[in-house]
Structure 1
Amino acid sequence: MNSDTAKGKWNQIKGEFKERYGAIANDNSKEAEGKMQELLGEIQEKYGETKEAIEKEIESWK
């Protein structure tokens, strides 16, 4: 497991927390942010890319 894979797992955990916290506080932006972080973490874990590289790729789709 490389460091980007480990960071991806951590980002998933943080995303899940924000998603749940956002739902409790009725804060849709926190919930959406949590879902995005969780997705980034899953991609990071699976492909071993940095979060920044993934975000840059997604940004290029716009």
Structure 2
Amino acid sequence: MNRDQMEGNWKQFTGKVKEQWGKLTDDDLDQVAGKREQLEGKIQERYGKTKDEARKDVDDWFDRNQW
């Protein structure tokens, strides 16, 4: 999935995102609004990961879910 598809379908993905990253709040997800870089930033913030770790986690999640 490309960035535009993620942003356009964000409401559909929020449930799946919360399943994977339960520490993210509804407010976090509203702020992210489908923007990948912001999602990675929130994962860094909530989980204490590096930028590269968060990026890899999001990449792996996309691959597993065949987005």
Q: Answer whether TM exceeds 0.5 for this pair.
A: no
